[in-house]
Amino acid sequence: MLITSNEQLVEFIPNTMTSVKGELTLFEKMMPFLQKTEKWLEENFTSTEVMAVIANMEAEHPTRRLACNIIAVDAFYHAIPQLDVILTPNGFGIVSNSNLAPASKERVERLMAALLQNRDSLLMQLMAILPSFNGWTASEQGMFFAATMFPSLKVTLRFPQQQENRWNQYLAIREEAIAIEEFFAAQYVSKELLEVLRQEVLTGQYRSTTHRRVCRILQAVEMRCLTSNDPSSTMHFQHGDMSELVNTFRNLPEEFPEWHSSHTAELYQPAVFENKKDSQGFWF
């Protein structure tokens, strides 16, 4: 829906040679990869509805160009291993002629790494825009990113780059973050309040400066757990900071009504035994 011609495609892929008459264009060669990447972007990030809105934007609209750039770069990344290999009657060969020599393995690997890095940088830009689309936060994709306090690939920048693909790295971080947040929700924050805080981080719209501060503290505590060699053990040593947050919740009921009506709040409001004269017994 987004890239529909060779002219559009080569805008985002530099240093491509013009096809001569009778040759397939780069667009024709990459068509399956473009279709696959566009579907990947739609299913994992934009949603079908938002993708349709972007497709209907003017060709020069910044958001449409951003999405096109992501699709072109990712598709090219996946197409590279096949673009320089041809099938002949005698088997596979590499594309070459008297003027051009095949690129070395190292140069191709550097190119692919640069493409992936560029794609992930562009994805971070797109993810900052998506919450502004009507209905996106309630979509399957929006709820996926709202499942933690880190709804963007930017969180991967806080970790040593152990793999080139930041999307795969984000998926692993997200899985760990969910487990950590579930523990903190049950013990301190409550699921009800945590859902509110996650939405605020996702949209960038906070109920108040107090909510913003609480979100920043909670993210910092989670980051200590995520970057620890033993996240499960580290969670149990965050009681000091988390207790401070609980005191904030208790002292500001108008700011955190979700917490006060939750089961978690009951952990900090134990029943008090009252001894009466007509009691049948006494407990010590």
Predicted confidence pLDDT, tens digits, the chain (284 residues): 899 998 898 888 876 555 556 567 888 888 999 999 999 999 999 999 999 999 999 999 999 999 999 999 999 999 887 766 555 455 555 565 555 555 666 777 788 888 999 999 999 999 999 999 999 999 999 999 999 999 999 999 988 766 678 999 999 999 999 999 999 999 999 999 999 999 999 999 999 999 999 999 999 999 999 988 776 767 767 788 899 999 999 999 999 999 999 999 988 876 555 666 666 665 56
Query: Strand locations in the chain, DSSP E?
Result: 85-88, 91-94
Name the residue among 262, 142, 132, 269 with its Cα closest to residue 194.
262
- For the entire predicted model, the pTM comes to 0.82
| Contact status, residue 67 vs residue 54, Cβ threshold 8 Å | yes
Phi-psi region at 15: left, alpha or beta (left = phi > 0; alpha = psi -120 to 50): left
* Token code pair at residue 63: 């958001």
- Per the listing, tokens 């938002």 go with 50
The residues that bridge with 92 in the sheet, in sequence order, are 87
| Contact status, residue 71 vs residue 2, Cβ threshold 8 Å | yes
- 3-state secondary structure at position 253: coil
| Contact status, residue 35 vs residue 3, Cβ threshold 8 Å | no
- Per the listing, tokens 């892929």 go with 13
